[in-house]
Chains A and B, each alone.
Chain A
Amino acid sequence: MTGISLGIGAWGLVTGVAMVKAGLGVPLSIAMSLLVFAGSAQLAALPLIAHGAPLWVIWATALCVNLRFIIFSAGWRPYFAPLPRRQRLWITYFMADLNYVAFMRRFPKPAAMSDQLPFLWGGVAMNWTAWQAMSLVGIVLADVIPTRWGLGFAGSLALVGITGTLLVDRGTWIAAVVAACAAFAAFALPFHLNIVVAIAAAIAIGVLVDHFTPPATPAHSGSDA
């Protein structure tokens, strides 16, 4: 978990700098770091906030970036469903990606056991502290670093890597290319609506690819199937 904390810390540093560079100022940046605690959603929301996009576009974008958590939460459920609801609500705020990965590696069997909570809280403590501490350092240092250096671009590079992890098969590649084309083609739309257009186009083509991918049997000529 130490190596992971190092990576999370760097990621937090970048996000801290990016928040201030997007024009949030120190108090709002600290508030965002503590309250939102979701790096990729924060980074995706920042350009939208900087350009004055409507609130619903900002929230819709963050929701889309966070959709993976909904999948994760289905994975979390068997372990934590027996806990009281108040405790479950509290835990969910802390359940970041890396906690999920570490937890599922340690407890592959989906059943509640007594040593799961201490394991989770230990990982959460490291992850949350590393993130918030380095995010704070980034917020403080952001004004020392000239804007001309373009360090906010480190956030974009992080998104390059995250996008790479999501490109796992033909369907996701095709969806990504379609999303890219749609994002550029619809760029003239106001309020960054091109993002919504790109998501809709990518889902449509992705689902089509899923449904019409021919089975891996020998191909037959003719398309009248």
Chain B
Amino acid sequence: MPAWQILVAIVGLAAITVLTRGFFVIPEREVPIPAWLREALRYAPLAALVAVLLPEIAMTDDHLIATWRDARIYATATGVLVFCTTRHLLGTILAGTAVLLALRLGLGW
């Protein structure tokens, strides 16, 4: 992607930041929140995250991981385990990254 296009993308993303954070704050008059929107909003962010995340974890070059010697599997498992036991975001990142680095640098996975 050429640099100018990335810049356009970034400016658009900045607009999205302000528009979403201020969605109900910016208008002068009270805006009613429709019920269907409230329901859809419950699931949309979750689905977006899962859809972006899983292929990143479980795929290499557009194919599912075919080997057990992939550091990402163990890093993710560690992250999930730490998160489930502590509900701590920073700990999840640090523990998973530590496992990833150990396997990548130590075993070359």
Contact B101 A149 (CB under 8 A): yes
Interface string of A161-192 (1 = CB under 8 A from B): 11111110001100110111011100100000
A-B interface, 4 closest residue pairs, ranked by CB to CB distance from nearest? A92-B22, A202-B47, A198-B51, A206-B43
- Count of chain A to chain B residue pairs whose CB atoms are closer than 8 Å in the complex: 265
Chain B positions within 8 Å of A, measured between CB atoms, are: 1, 3, 5-14, 16-18, 20-26, 28, 33, 36, 38-59, 62, 64, 71-72, 75-76, 79-80, 83-84, 87-90, 92-94, 96-97, 100-101, 104-105
Q: Is A80 an interface residue (CB 8 A)?
A: yes
Interface SS of chain B: helix, strand, loop or mixed? helix
Contact A92 B89 (CB under 8 A): no
Q: Is A105 an interface residue (CB 8 A)?
A: no
Residue of A11, A160, A172 touching B42 (CB-CB under 8 A): A172
Q: Is A116 an interface residue (CB 8 A)?
A: no
Contact A194 B51 (CB under 8 A): yes
Once bound together, how far apart are the Cα atoms of A66 and B43, in whole Å?
Answer: 12
Beyond A160-B53, A160-B83, whether A70 also contacts B12 by CB under 8 A is: no
Beyond A61-B52, A69-B23, whether A24 also contacts B6 by CB under 8 A is: yes
Beyond A35-B11, A92-B22, whether A154 also contacts B45 by CB under 8 A is: no
Chain A nearest CB, measured from B41 CB (Å) = 5
Contact B6 A49 (CB under 8 A): yes
Q: Is A102 an interface residue (CB 8 A)?
A: no
Interface string of A44-79 (1 = CB under 8 A from B): 110101101001001101111111111111101100
Chain B nearest CB, measured from A4 CB (Å) = 10
Chain B nearest CB, measured from A78 CB (Å) = 10
Contact A154 B14 (CB under 8 A): no
Residues on the A chain within 8 Å of B1, using CB: 49-50, 52
Contact A183 B72 (CB under 8 A): no
Beyond A25-B3, A28-B6, A202-B43, whether A35 also contacts B13 by CB under 8 A is: yes
Chain B nearest CB, measured from A49 CB (Å) = 6
Contact B46 A175 (CB under 8 A): yes
Chain A nearest CB, measured from B98 CB (Å) = 10
Residues on the B chain within 8 Å of A125, using CB: none
Once bound together, how far apart are the Cα atoms of A92 and B20, in whole Å?
Answer: 9
Residue of B12, B25, B42, B52 touching A76 (CB-CB under 8 A): B25
Chain B nearest CB, measured from A224 CB (Å) = 26
Contact A38 B17 (CB under 8 A): yes
Beyond A59-B16, A184-B55, whether A176 also contacts B50 by CB under 8 A is: yes
Beyond A93-B17, A162-B89, whether A153 also contacts B26 by CB under 8 A is: no
Beyond A36-B10, A199-B44, whether A14 also contacts B33 by CB under 8 A is: no
Contact A158 B47 (CB under 8 A): no
Contact B13 A42 (CB under 8 A): yes
Residue of A7, A35, A164 touching B87 (CB-CB under 8 A): A164
Once bound together, how far apart are the Cα atoms of A132 and B22, in whole Å?
Answer: 21
Residues on the A chain within 8 Å of B83, using CB: 160-161, 164
